[in-house]
């Protein structure tokens, strides 16, 4: 019998590994582009729940002052630097420099979301003990915001875990054509709109896959994120002396809870929907 001299074929294009590569949350908050400095101060202004007054006995209209608060986000520098030797790039499969640049940008984008999630978690309002997602749970969170005079103006978002989303898909009011026009079982999306809320399914929420997942419903004006987005650096280069390639992504950023009344934590039990 003649032996077969097998040949191994290596695909030139690389296949991206499973990880979050883009920021899912920055579009849902109040954004500030920092030009200079290590702090970004937001201004939150309201009447302080003032009521209308009648003219006083002296014939004058009573005057009042507005409530002005200035929450400040302190910026910190965030970097991701990846290196490969010249031989590693030469000998490895795929475009090594492109891989380094894409993964480095992904690291920074994930950190943007984690910075926002950390601030959301400082809010004090919640729906109570952890439970699986239900129409009642969703409407309770929305009602809490409504009772706080948070406007339903298309700027309310909910960031939920994959498990939370899975339970939503079992609710008639979410999935049945008798209630909604979209068909989640035929066109599942990571971002969608339902009950007047912009929904974001996020893979990296605090406590994901446990009985203590932290999901959030919030108004864009309740959380601020500041960064030097116009000066974000995504650089690649080559060190000739030491013969290595590198890719670096850098950003200066910070987030701040602006209005506690505009954030509700939806404590969720996602422990039943994890790998065996």
- Distance, CA of 253 to CA of 75 (rounded, Å): 5
Asked if residue 182 has pLDDT above 80, the reply is no
pLDDT tens, position by position, 53-77: 999 889 899 998 999 999 999 999 9
- Which stretch of DSSP H or E encloses residue 89? helix 86-91
In this prediction, residue 198 carries a pLDDT of 96
Question: Lowest-confidence range among 137-146, 156-165, 168-177, 253-262?
Answer: 168-177
Residue 7 — pLDDT band, cuts 50, 70, 90?
confident
Contact status, residue 103 vs residue 241, Cβ threshold 8 Å: no
Question: In terms of C-beta distances under 8 Å and separation of at least 24 residues, what long-range contacts does 93-99 make, across chains too?
Answer: 93/10, 93/11, 93/12, 93/14, 94/11, 94/12, 94/13, 94/14, 95/13, 95/14, 96/245, 97/236, 97/245, 97/247, 98/14, 99/14
First to last CA, the chain: 46
CA distance 174 to 194: 8
C-alpha distances (whole Å) from 120 to each of 13, 83, 233, 263 are 39, 34, 26, 7
Mean pLDDT over each residue of the chain, to the nearest integer: 91
Grade residue 207 by pLDDT with cuts at 50, 70 and 90: very high
Per-residue pLDDT tens digits for 98-118: 899 999 999 999 999 999 999
Taking only the tens place, the pLDDT of each residue in 224-273 is 999 987 778 889 999 999 999 999 999 999 999 999 999 999 999 999 99
Range of weakest confidence among 40-44, 99-103, 183-187, 213-217: 183-187
Query: pLDDT band at 2, cuts 50/70/90?
Result: low
Can you give the pLDDT at residue 161?
97
For 219, other C-beta atoms within 10 Å of its C-beta total 24
The answer to whether 71 and 44 are in contact (CB under 8 A) is yes
Give per-residue pLDDT as tens, 28-37. 999 988 767 7
Other beta carbons within 10 Å of 78: 17
* Separation between Cα atoms, residue 201 and residue 189, nearest integer Å: 8
Q: What are the domain boundaries of the chain?
A: 27-32+74-268
């Amino acid at each position: 019998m003649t032996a077969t001299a097998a040949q191994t074929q290596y695909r030139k294009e690389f296949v991206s590994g499973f990880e979050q590569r883009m920021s899912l949350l920055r579009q849902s908050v109040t954004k500030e582009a920092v030009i200079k400095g290590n702090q970004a101060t937001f201004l939150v202004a309201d009447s302080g729940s003032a009521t209308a007054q009648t003219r006083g006995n002296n014939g004058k209209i009573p005057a009042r002052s507005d409530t002005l608060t200035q929450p400040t986000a302190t910026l910190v520098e965030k970097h991701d630097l990846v290196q490969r030797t010249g031989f590693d790039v030469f000998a490895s499969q795929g475009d090594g420099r492109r891989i380094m640049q894409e993964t480095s940008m992904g690291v920074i984008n994930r950190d943007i979301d984690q910075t926002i999630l950390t601030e959301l978690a400082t809010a004090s309002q919640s729906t109570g003990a952890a439970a699986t997602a239900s129409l009642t749970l969703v409407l309770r969170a929305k009602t809490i915001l409504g009772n706080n005079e948070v406007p339903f103006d298309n700027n309310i978002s909910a960031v939920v875990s994959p498990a939370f989303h899975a339970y939503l898909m079992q609710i008639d009011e979410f999935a049945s054509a008798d209630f909604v026009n979209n068909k989640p079982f035929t066109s599942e999306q990571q971002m969608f709109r339902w009950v007047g809320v912009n929904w974001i399914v996020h893979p990296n929420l605090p406590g994901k896959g446990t009985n203590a997942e932290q999901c959030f419903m919030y108004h864009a004006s309740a959380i601020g994120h500041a960064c030097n987005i116009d000066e974000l650096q995504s650089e690649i280069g080559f060190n000739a002396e030491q013969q290595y390639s590198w890719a670096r992504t850098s950003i200066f950023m910070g987030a701040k809870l602006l209005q506690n009344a505009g954030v509700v934590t939806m404590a969720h039990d996602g422990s039943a929907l994890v790998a065996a």
